Amino acid sequence: PRKGIALVNLDEDGVDRAFRADVLQGLTEPQKAVPARWFYDDAGSRLFEEITQLPEYYLTRAETEILTGRSKAFAELIGPGRAVVEFGSGSSVKTPLLLSAIAPAAYVPLDISGDFLRASAADLAAKFPGLPVYPVEADFMRRVELPGEVAELPKLGFFPGSTIGNMVARTAVDLLRTMRETLGEGAKLLIGVDQIKDPEVLVAAYDDAAGVTAAFNFNLVRRINRELDGDIPLDALRHEARWNDDIARIEMHLVATRDIAFTVSGRHFAMRAGESIHTENSHKFDRRTGNMLLLAGGWTPIRCWTDSEGRFALVLADA
């Protein structure tokens, strides 16, 4: 386990070096962009939790429906006695549904945020008193050394939420291959994959009427202004969710409503009215493209379950 290793690299002013490097690099590109991973500070994580409750954001409800309704099939195809390795901290609802369906031998949540990790691990341990829980503070985009206690157990990787969709294909394939290395021989993977559907439904899921997703998007700029000494004018930006049909993804942008100039960490930037900062991709799949992605990542899909409206899929794959 990598406990005790600092995963965040701060400079003399206490600024996360990787955050600053990503933002300064991204704002220099012809299409300005900031990687979506920087959404998730405390405020951003809270806003995301709120998003999962929105009427337009069907993903969480659809995936929960599958996890609730298919427990028998999971038990049959996955079986008991595995160490469940969850990539990203367990949400309070989804993980218990899986764990009670399959009777695992151990639970290993992986997360880059120690606080989140400890909270969700304690939560899970309280709900499943007999289940050994071994939280590991780690960046799962890299190969992770799992605790010795689970070395001999067959693994089930669990990657819900369609987080794989937030990566471009090359990164997604790299991650799937890394997961395979982390989990070892004989592993299985249960992964959430959001499905291509009516673009109006998709756009609404990322541009809700209550404006929570807009606030989530704007929070990134607030964070840049606060942590990187920026003066990006929030009142000159608007939230936009765009369906990119060529690559089947929702893109989130912050679009300048007038010409603006601003500084971040002492560097000067300008945007023309209509120009945007691209802040997130959320790729959507169908049966074939989802399977292709898994195959390219070294996994063989064996079963796929969707919710009653076919909006979301959970795919089980073999290493």
Give the interface with ligand AVI as residue ranges (CB under 6 A): 51, 59, 161-163, 165-166, 206, 213, 216, 280, 282
Question: 20 vs 253, which CB is nearer to ligand AVI?
Answer: 253
Question: 28 vs 244, which CB is nearer to ligand AVI?
Answer: 244
Q: How far is the CB of 101 from ligand AVI (least distance, A)?
A: 22
Gap between the Cα atoms of 255 and 273, Å rounded: 8
Question: 106 vs 294, which CB is nearer to ligand AVI?
Answer: 294
Q: How far is the CB of 216 from ligand AVI (least distance, A)?
A: 6
Q: How far is the CB of 60 from ligand AVI (least distance, A)?
A: 9
Q: How far is the CB of 263 from ligand AVI (least distance, A)?
A: 27
Question: 146 vs 251, which CB is nearer to ligand AVI?
Answer: 251
The closest residue (CB) to ligand AVI is 282
Q: How far is the CB of 100 from ligand AVI (least distance, A)?
A: 24
Q: Which amino acid is at 201?
A: V
Question: 193 vs 260, which CB is nearer to ligand AVI?
Answer: 193
